[in-house]
């Protein structure tokens, strides 16, 4: 799944669905470098993410305890660039804590968390980790309910996010095209003027994913994306993830086994804060320990 | 869902959605501002200075000062709305910034008394009374108007910045932040009540004689202060409106509604909060500096928690998150207060409480919300 390094002048592979010739030429002249690059002067170290050893996200020996309870216990996990990984596990297995550690919300007591070969995520806070290219979707859909769909995407859009830059910020036309392309990817092109708070649950879930896409992240973390969705909405989301596969590294935490069967390549089973098993869904299902703690019941 | 179905015309049609909110004011808004400017800068000065005493059109100095005072309150209300209505930070301590601005200009006004005080001394009367022989170090340069004008901005600004830096860095929010702001103004009030703090103790500063060489009680000076307050209010309204319609405003509102999502979008909420918080405090300080020369006194009771809470009530009554609303709220509540203090002063606080309960129950969006509902829910 490793991605060949792209020359700096290569156009970004924007969201799937955007024809290469529309707006993208403007994108390259708009101050963006190749994938993983950042806008000039933005808050991130400009070296980008080094995935020369194919691994993009790497956790080793991560331990987090809350009042003596070990939410994560010597957790080690590595995601290859471009892979789609499903993480399953019973309640309290540490799935959400793991995402908190990756996104900078929780500092691990010990262990290493690296983005690519060089970026130590434990040394950064949430906004800078987000700017470096890790997008996170919460379990409960979290969008800006008093803003329109369009404004939600405008705010999420990869851009210079320092406060003084935002006072006079106006969208350039290639950025508007970018928002339009995300809108069509998530199927909300007809709802641009609606307040996000008025959307249905499934639409909010898709809008939130759209907001992640607008950030153009290298890694997408999705926490129970189909929770509370109808079968139809779940199928739509599976289709959406299929179009994103290979373009982003995706980690999905999910309970819905049908959904996992639909999308999974490789499954990691968490239990009591560490990895119990890893493999294809069938391999994992065949693992006796896994059956014992999780699947068999 | 894929490349071939992407309708690019939709993309261009969508551009309009971004522009809708960028408009600074509607035509109605600009008209209202224009009328307000004419009233403040032309009509009121004519009524106060040209219309002969005793004619129906004459504006007494009492009325002039009353309205001028409320204009200063309205500036505070707009400043508070910026942090509360748009950023969700409910400050119960904005009276502190207002009072600090007032004290800063008050230092100049005390120095400007010169030898005309009761004791005919170089020092203000209260320092003579305390048997002080020289000005404390922090009174240095306060005989220069522009230095004090700088303090009006800097003192509330720096205090708000330092307080906000630690509060927002520690991610203190909601009720906890409100209580701390309340405690802050209360602590400052106790400090200023002490005589040896050097700001006149519980009497504060009063008996001002002149400002920039003009007699502070002359009708012309009063008119000038009134016009300055009114135009400052208009300027603050336009500035705040500009900010809330910018992308910064949309980020700030997003912080109010879903702060964690803002962080995971790559924005640092601390910086945005600190900016609006500090700006709001500075605006309050300026309002205080305009207020003190008009009312002729500043004392620590301006820092009483009750004053800060009243500011919140102005905003809530007018309609928070609307900027115009708090101006209306400040006028309605304070005019009611003037009437009450004339006919039944002992019932004022009960009435104030009733307003707050009533607004919370029946007008969750304040007076402005009432008009919007009348107009069929359209945005004003």
What is the tens place of the pLDDT at every residue in B144-185? 999 999 999 999 999 999 999 999 999 998 999 999 999 999
CA angle A47, A52, A53 (to 5 degrees): 135
Residue A100 lies in a domain: yes
Residue A32 lies in a domain: yes
Mean pLDDT along residues B220-240: 96
Residue A283 lies in a domain: yes
Residue B30 makes CB contacts below 8 A (sequence gap 6+) with none
Pick B248's closest partner by Cβ from A16, A22, A167. A167
pLDDT of the residue at B379: 42
Residue A130 lies in a domain: yes
Kindly indicate the confidence band of residue B71, based on its pLDDT and cuts at 50, 70 and 90.
Answer: very high
Q: Do B260 and A146 touch (CB under 8 A)?
A: no
Q: Do A215 and B5 touch (CB under 8 A)?
A: no
Mutation for B interface: A165, A180, A183, most B CBs within 10 A = A180
Q: Do A127 and B268 touch (CB under 8 A)?
A: yes
Please answer whether residues B297 and B206 qualify as being in contact, where contact means their C-beta atoms are separated by less than 8 angstroms: yes
Side-chain-facing half-sphere of B248: CA atoms under 13 Å? 22
- Please report residues of B whose CB lies closer than 8 A to that of A24: none
Q: Do A215 and B267 touch (CB under 8 A)?
A: no
Nearest CA in chain A to B275: A163
Side-chain-facing half-sphere of A61: CA atoms under 13 Å? 4
Listed by start position, the domains of chain B span 28-374
Residue A264 lies in a domain: yes
Residue A168 lies in a domain: no
Mutation for A interface: B8, B11, B165, B254, most A CBs within 10 A = B11
Q: Do B17 and A171 touch (CB under 8 A)?
A: no
What are the two backbone dihedrals, phi and then psi, of residue A71, each rounded to the nearest 5 degrees? -70, -40
Q: Comparing B55 with B96, which gets the higher pLDDT?
A: B96
Residue A5 lies in a domain: no
Kindly indicate the confidence band of residue A121, based on its pLDDT and cuts at 50, 70 and 90.
Answer: very high
Nearest CA in chain B to A134: B264
pLDDT of the residue at A109: 93
Residue A7 lies in a domain: no
Q: Do B6 and A148 touch (CB under 8 A)?
A: no
Question: What 3-state class would DSSP assign to B216?
Answer: coil
pLDDT of the residue at A295: 56
Q: CA of A255 to nearest chain B CA: how many angstroms apart?
A: 23
Q: Comparing A107 with A32, which gets the higher pLDDT?
A: A107
Q: Do B14 and A179 touch (CB under 8 A)?
A: yes
Number of domains, chain A: 1
Alpha-carbon span B157 to B178, nearest angstrom: 18
* % of chain B surpassing 90 pLDDT: 78
Domain of A259, CATH number, reads: 3.40.50.300
Mean pLDDT along residues B3-10: 35
Mean pLDDT along residues B60-71: 94
Q: Do A176 and B275 touch (CB under 8 A)?
A: no
User: What Cα–Cα distance (Å) separates residue A164 from each residue in A160, B185, B266, B271?
Assistant: 10, 29, 14, 9
Q: Do B251 and A163 touch (CB under 8 A)?
A: yes
Q: How high is the mean pLDDT of chain A?
A: 81
* % of chain A surpassing 70 pLDDT: 83
Q: CA of A131 to nearest chain B CA: how many angstroms apart?
A: 5
User: What Cα–Cα distance (Å) separates residue B139 from each residue in A15, A200, B122, B123, B291?
Assistant: 62, 62, 13, 11, 21
Pick B257's closest partner by Cβ from A125, A144, A148. A144
User: What Cα–Cα distance (Å) separates residue B276 from each residue in A229, B216, B273?
Assistant: 38, 33, 5
Pick A180's closest partner by Cβ from B14, B253, B271. B14
- Please report residues of B whose CB lies closer than 8 A to that of A96: none
């Amino acid at each position: 799944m490793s991605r060949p390094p792209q020359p700096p002048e290569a156009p970004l592979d924007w969201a799937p669905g955007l024809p290469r010739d529309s707006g993208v030429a403007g994108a390259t002249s708009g101050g963006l470098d190749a994938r993983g690059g950042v806008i000039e002067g933005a808050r991130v170290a400009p070296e980008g993410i080094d995935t020369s050893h194919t691994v993009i996200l790497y956790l080793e020996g991560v331990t987090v305890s809350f009042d003596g309870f070990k939410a994560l216990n010597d957790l080690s996990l590595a995601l290859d660039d471009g892979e789609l990984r499903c993480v399953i596990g019973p309640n309290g297995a540490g799935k959400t804590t793991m995402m908190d550690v990756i996104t900078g919300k929780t500092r691990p007591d010990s262990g290493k968390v690296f983005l690519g070969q060089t970026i130590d995520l434990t040394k950064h806070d949430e906004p800078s980790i987000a700017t470096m290219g890790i997008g996170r979707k919460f379990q409960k859909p979290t969008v800006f309910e008093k803003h329109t769909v369009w404004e939600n995407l405008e705010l999420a859009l990869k851009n210079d996010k320092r406060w003084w830059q935002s006072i006079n910020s106006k969208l350039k036309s290639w950025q508007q095209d970018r928002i339009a392309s995300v809108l069509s990817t998530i199927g909300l092109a007809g709802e641009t003027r609606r307040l996000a708070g008025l959307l249905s649950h499934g639409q909010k879930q898709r809008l939130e994913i759209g907001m992640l896409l607008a950030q153009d992240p290298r890694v997408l973390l999705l926490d129970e994306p189909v929770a509370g969705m109808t079968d139809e909405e779940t199928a739509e989301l599976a289709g959406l993830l299929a179009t994103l596969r290979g373009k982003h590294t995706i980690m999905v935490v999910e309970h819905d086994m049908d959904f996992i069967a639909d999308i999974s390549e490789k499954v990691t089973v968490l239990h009591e804060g560490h990895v119990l098993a890893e493999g294809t869904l069938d391999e994992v299902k065949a693992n006796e320990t896994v059956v014992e703690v999780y699947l068999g019941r | 869902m894929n490349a071939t179905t992407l309708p690019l015309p939709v993309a261009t049609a969508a551009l309009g959605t971004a522009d809708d909110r960028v408009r600074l004011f509607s035509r109605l808004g600009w008209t209202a501002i224009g009328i307000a400017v004419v009233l403040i800068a032309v009509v009121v000065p004519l009524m106060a200075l040209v219309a002969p005493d005793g004619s129906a059109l004459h504006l007494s100095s009492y009325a002039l000062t009353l309205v001028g005072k409320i204009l200063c309150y309205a500036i505070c209300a707009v400043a508070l709305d910026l942090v509360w209505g748009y950023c969700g930070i409910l400050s119960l301590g904005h009276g502190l910034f207002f009072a600090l601005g007032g004290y800063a200009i008050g230092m100049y006004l005390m120095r400007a008394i010169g030898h005309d005080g009761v004791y005919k001394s170089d020092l203000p009367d209260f320092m003579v009374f305390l048997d002080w022989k020289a000005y404390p170090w922090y009174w240095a340069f306060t005989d220069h108007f522009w230095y004090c004008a700088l303090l009006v901005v800097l003192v509330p600004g720096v205090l708000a910045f330092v307080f906000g830096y630690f509060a927002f860095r520690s991610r203190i929010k909601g009720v906890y932040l409100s209580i701390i702001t309340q405690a802050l103004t209360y602590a400052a009030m106790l400090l200023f009540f002490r005589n040896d703090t050097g700001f006149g103790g519980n009497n504060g500063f009063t008996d001002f004689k002149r400002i920039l060489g003009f007699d502070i009680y002359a009708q012309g000076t009063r008119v000038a202060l009134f016009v300055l307050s009114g135009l400052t209010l208009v300027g603050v309204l336009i500035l705040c409106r500009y900010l809330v319609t910018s992308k910064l405003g949309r980020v700030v509102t997003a912080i109010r509604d879903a702060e964690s999502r803002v962080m995971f979008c790559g924005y640092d909420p601390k910086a945005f909060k600190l900016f609006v918080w500090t700006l709001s405090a500075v605006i309050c300080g300026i309002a205080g500096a305009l207020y003190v020369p008009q009312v002729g006194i500043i004392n620590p009771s301006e820092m009483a928690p009750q004053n800060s809470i009243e500011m919140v009530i102005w905003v809530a009554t007018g309609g928070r998150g609307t900027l115009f609303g708090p101006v209306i709220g400040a006028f309605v509540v304070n005019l009611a207060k003037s009437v009450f203090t004339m006919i039944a002063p002992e019932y004022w606080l009960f009435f104030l409480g009733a307003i707050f309960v009533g607004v919370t129950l029946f007008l969750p969006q304040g007076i402005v919300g009432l008009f919007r509902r009348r107009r069929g829910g359209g945005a004003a």
